[in-house]
Structure 1
């Protein structure tokens, strides 16, 4: 089963999110054609995972389509805006095989477009008329920003640690998936226990999702990833497989050699080969599975429904994906 068919129970809801995106872009078609082109380029072709999680979480409990639609749109716009800023900071030319905004329109316009989408995301969050979700949105944006600052502080530092890694992915990935599921539960008027269960589900799914992403950065191909293999390490950020290598080989360590600028191309080739040929991938994957099992157990506290089962299938799919 592919991702699109897995979204079937909320397909109409997701179509409404995409209609919001088209409307956001087409509003500028006459007044500001370049902005229209930038938005069309940016707001099409994504996984729309976060809106799917928002709708599925909400529908596990009740059916408040209008308010959930606004928050689902806000969640995805916030995610997209962070990707645009990430690509600008990293000077990335492509993402998932698609040219980045900064590649086509330049760094300055990319950063400003990210800011524009932050603002529009906030507007959609406010349209829920729910103060709790607005505060959630603000707190999540702050958490993401702190995660980005931590990453910027530690870039190319050999002192990066496992603790720092989990702080970073908690801030950059898990916090946004947590908001996606928690906000859906809040807008569906769930009990505090249900809201907490779905919040913790999103958080643990986010940790598992990011660990798998970091594994694929070493095991995938450039064609599959749409970027060079070992891309994070090339940018000076050490992810879990490389951290485990540093822990297990503190003396003769190609990760440290790379960070210190010692024959970087050969060093990164060594890192990739060692990670792929030892048990480091399995060890990393075991941690991802642990977090996914915590997430699945939290779902068992919710009433049975097609939406709960879809969240379970989606969790398993995201852990086993290739891209």
Structure 2
């Protein structure tokens, strides 16, 4: 069986950007229209998660167990953080990716829980680094309990994630999953933590950096790496063929890239204020007619930031960024084409459609 990688092509598109693992067309195209066409109804997460809905409910119970098993002084903070209304996209990826071959909930649930714990830890650290005060409509942990406590809470959840994977090792030893695959799954989360930290360090070292290539490297490390690890670990633990593991890994990567671009469109103003230039702003500043805005930013940061937020909002680059994100989500779906058709397959395709239309 041949596992092939497709690229969407737009008629007359002359500019392509390299995002690390693939190229995409900045002007979209026929393939992209399949995912992000305005006429399509946006699928709901409840419908997307339906094939693994019982497992997702059990995952919530496992998060409750993490809270209950914590020292008394931490329980309130953990409950506030873990029950803050997250969409649980990453653990759902693990469960859905693990549904194509040998589905074993005793292996997949600990890994999905570990993925969600790690994701939450990164949010705590991000909010502290960025001095953010609001997330998902609620006060952040650093705003409520201070930076020191927020960082330590993130560290605790990172350790809880590692502990969850180690506990899963007990189940792995009783299954037919090979030692190599279980070790690879554990290595994935460790490598992902390093990638996320590397991306955050790079961002802090280059404030107001308008380098497009560095932007894609950063979001690949900070966001796409965890999406990719979530999908790959599910495939590994279901004993998927190596080529299928690669396809699901690439699906997660491209989905994560698209997710972050859409997220950056929705919140580019806050990013600019803290010195992080994301794709909408970078593409805006690349245009020759906007050179003067870049010069203003270099001379007078405060005035330049205000100008950028005002001008980017009404600029065509916003639609261009949505097209790029949609193209990446379509490429993610193309990675699934050689996998067995199943409810999980449909859910992963619909998850890409959901992300391409992500609004909040």
* Aligned CA-pair RMSD: 1.6
> 1:42 corresponds to which residue?
81
> 2:32 corresponds to which residue?
none
> 1:185 corresponds to which residue?
235
> 2:321 corresponds to which residue?
284
The number of residues matched between the two structures is: 305
Could you say which structure has the greater relative contact order, defined with CA pairs below 8 angstroms and 6 or more residues apart?
A: 2
- Is contact 1:242–1:275 with CA below 8 Å preserved after alignment? yes
- 2:98 alignment partner, SS class: helix
Q: Deviations over 1:81-128 (max 9, x none)?
A: 000000011111111211111111110000001111111111112233
1:62 to 99, 102, 124: 102
Q: How far, CA to CA, are the matches of 1:185 and 1:216 in structure 2?
A: 31
- Is contact 1:255–1:267 with CA below 8 Å preserved after alignment? yes
- Is contact 1:147–1:168 with CA below 8 Å preserved after alignment? yes
Can you give the 5+ residue segments of structure 1 that lack an aligned partner in the other structure? 219-229
- Is contact 1:245–1:253 with CA below 8 Å preserved after alignment? no
> 2:277 corresponds to which residue?
238
- Is contact 1:74–1:122 with CA below 8 Å preserved after alignment? yes
2:191 to 120, 139, 146: 139
Shift in CA distance, 302/256, structure 1 to aligned 2, threshold 3 Å: farther
> 2:208 corresponds to which residue?
156
> 2:173 corresponds to which residue?
none
Report the alpha carbon displacement of residue 276 of structure 1 after superposing the two structures with TM: 2.6
> 1:224 corresponds to which residue?
none
> 2:252 corresponds to which residue?
202
- Is contact 1:246–1:255 with CA below 8 Å preserved after alignment? yes
Moved over 4 A (4+): none
Q: Deviations over 1:138-195 (max 9, x none)?
A: 11111111111111111234xx300000000000000000000000000000000000
Q: How far, CA to CA, are the matches of 1:282 and 1:81 in structure 2?
A: 32
TM-score (norm 1): 0.90
Q: Does 1:173 align with 2:223?
A: yes
Q: How far, CA to CA, are the matches of 2:186 and 2:294 in structure 1?
A: 41
TM-score (norm 2): 0.81
Q: Please say which of residues 246-255 and 84-93 is displaced more in the overlay.
A: 246-255
- Is contact 1:255–1:268 with CA below 8 Å preserved after alignment? no
> 1:225 corresponds to which residue?
none
> If each structure's helix is expressed as a fraction of its own residues, which one has the higher value?
1
Q: Within 5 Å, which residues of 2 pair with 1:298-313? A: 298-313=335-350
Q: How far, CA to CA, are the matches of 2:113 and 2:299 in structure 1?
A: 42
